[in-house]
Structure 1
């Protein structure tokens, strides 16, 4: 097979969404940071960096393969990503996804032994989500299951590297943060993402939340879930006294941003509305970055 050009590799990274790759790295690093109080020895920075590479490569493989399998609905939804635009061949993207998956497994060499299983499990989830014969992405329940499990694996990866592979209890701050971050992905991110993809998902026969509930109800669900999640997390932090007050404030700002975006995202006659309906998802994603950055800095 001919060598894959640097331009094609760049397009593959774009297809896998740099913002997703960035927040995936932040999830892993937040797992490391919040696990440090439980670590019995100092964690070498090269080991942390190696774990970051292994985890992000697995996410690259998963999202790139998802782009290969989503090409039909992405084109209907007028996605601007390279495969949907016809700028990146699906065969090339699939080859890079397979290579990234292999490199992710190889990158666990020398890390605590559970990391190989964690990365392999994430790759398996990615295939089950997008691949034949019955991709889990076609149903809301399957999507929720994959998001929850992959999210848990990201924080577990950071904890594993920070603590050398186990033998210590999970810190309460890590447990609480992982819970709210996964809740934010599932309860807010999933309906927010569906808003701009309802037409293509319907054409592809997918039973996402947006398809099942419609635009207006999906936007209301997004806002309601964000408010309930904030209230529950604030109460949990208050009762347990974990040092995550900054995360509560960051989440409150994100809830306001998502609410404003969702309530102003209704399609208008004569307008394809994609830019507008993407606003809640962009607010959700920006909040994800803010939450993890705040939590990462909290042990300092």
Structure 2
């Protein structure tokens, strides 16, 4: 009887131990998602959906949804990899992200990156050679942005170009996954929002991270030009993108005027917000231009959705 009781006791303890391990794994996976920045993940999904919506030809909705799932896995892998590579910078900048704060072990994060990237490639391979080629290019650029031996993020111009390439490939991925051809409106929208991402976002994201970037040996826009001149260049690019997008939207039509107006308004707000950031501001205040940049991405894509539902 005692042996049976002891056996049941050990079985119960093993179950409890299994539950605790499962809970720790789920917690770590949740922290991986936080590290991959859900706000950014949503923007990439919006880009992918825009590529599918603005293409020409019959939309394959099921294939597009599966493609979006695979693309999300790849994007999570890329940004989690970026979090791993940015450990020194994030610690220097006082970031509270899971990896920098020590809440997410680097070894676990690396394993998750490999699993996510592999799953994304398998999905793309099943979808077909074109989707696989685009996915492989996307993951390659994503790794090259952060990974050795020559990470693109080290230099200001390659960082901006790498970020822009990720955005442009996402629009292309949406069109390819849904079996649609590239249309003039898609080309205009994708190029405009990619220019906003690489030109404006490529500078805005570094304005608050000068300390950590300097410690890590990066050559970001604010470190090369100085924060004030980098901010001025960011605004110049923002207004150039807004003007070019508005002019092209007037010609291309297809509901692009509303998202173009959102970008133009965003450029004005960005100028106002940037002007109110003093040189000695805290990191939180210096982060405000980046928040405006992100908000414009959301508004631009939301404007496209509204325009497609009720064409202007």
How far has the Cα of 1:42 moved from its partner? Answer: 4.1
Q: From 88, 91, 98, give the equivalent of 1:75.
A: 91
List 4+ stretches of structure 1 deviating above 3 A: 239-242
Confirm whether residue 176 of structure 1 aligns to residue 188 of structure 2: yes
Paired with 1:267 and 1:18, the residues of 2 have a C-alpha distance of 30
Larger helix proportion of the pair: 2
Is 2:25 aligned against 1:13?
A: no
Report the Cα distance in structure 2 between the residues aligned to 1:285 and 1:175, rounded to whole angstroms: 21
Query: 2:73–2:119: 8 Å Cα contact kept in structure 1?
Result: yes
For residues 51 and 288 of structure 1, what CA distance do their matches in structure 2 show? Answer: 21
Q: Is the contact between residue 163 and residue 202 of structure 2 (CA under 8 Å) also seen in structure 1?
A: no
Tell me the C-alpha RMSD between the 2 structures. 1.7
Structure with the bigger RCO (C-alpha within 8 Å, sep 6+) is 1
- In the alignment, the residues of structure 2 paired with residue 42 and residue 33 of structure 1 have an alpha-carbon distance, to the nearest angstrom, of 8
Q: Residue 291 of structure 1: which of 281, 300, 304 is its match?
A: 300
Query: 2:60 is matched with which residue?
Result: 43
The residue number in structure 1 matching 2:112 is 96
Unaligned runs of 5+ in 1: none
User: 1:220 maps to what in 2?
Assistant: 232
In the alignment, which residue of structure 1 is the partner of 2:209?
197
Quote the Cα distance in structure 2 between the aligned partners of 1:171 and 1:42.
Answer: 13
Match of 1:153 among 163, 169, 173: 169
Aligned residues: 288
The answer on whether the counterparts of 2:131 and 2:173 sit within 8 Å (CA) in structure 1 is: yes
Q: CA deviation at 1:109?
A: 4.6
Separation of aligned partners in 2, 1:161 and 1:102: 18
Unaligned runs of 5+ in 2: 1-20
The answer to whether the aligner puts 1:130 opposite 2:150 as a matched pair is no
- Structure 1 length-normalised TM: 0.91
Q: Determine the structure 2 residue equivalent to 1:139.
A: 155
Q: Tell which deviates more after alignment, 52-61 or 258-267.
A: 258-267
1:234 aligns with: 246
Q: Aligned in 2, Cα 1:49/1:242: closer, same or farther, shift over 3 Å? A: closer
Q: In 1, Cα distance between the equivalents of 2:97 and 2:303?
A: 30
Displacement after TM superposition at 1:79 (Å): 1.0
> Separation in 1 of the partners of 2:148 and 2:86?
12
